[in-house]
Amino acid sequence: MNRDYLEGNWNQLKGRVRRQWGKLTDDEIDIIRGDQEVLIGKIQEHYGRSREEAEREVRDWLEGDHPESHDRP
């Protein structure tokens, strides 16, 4: 899936984003508004991931490869 899918389907996906990355606040979810770059940055910020790790996480998630939880330290 590409970034157009994320932006175009944000209202449907934001609940899944909340479940997947539970450290993101409702305000941050509203700020992200389907912008993949902002989502990647927030994952880096909250989970201490490198840019590459966060990009891979989002890509895998969008492709349906959902690991159990991303709330690891």
Q: Where are the domains of the chain?
A: 3-62
pLDDT, residue 21, reads 97
The token duo for 63 is: 């492709």
Separation between Cα atoms, residue 54 and residue 46, nearest integer Å? 11
Neighbouring C-beta atoms of residue 61, cutoff 10 Å? 21
Closest among 42, 40, 8, 37 to 27, alpha carbons compared? 42
Position 40: which residue type?
A: I
Chain mean pLDDT for the chain? 87
pLDDT tens string 16-47: 999 999 999 999 999 999 999 999 999 999 99
pLDDT, residue 63, reads 87
pLDDT, residue 58, reads 94
pLDDT, residue 2, reads 62
CATH match of 3-62 with 1.10.1470.10: yes
Residue 57: is its pLDDT beyond 70? yes
pLDDT, residue 1, reads 52
Position 11: which residue type?
A: N
Neighbouring C-beta atoms of residue 38, cutoff 10 Å? 13
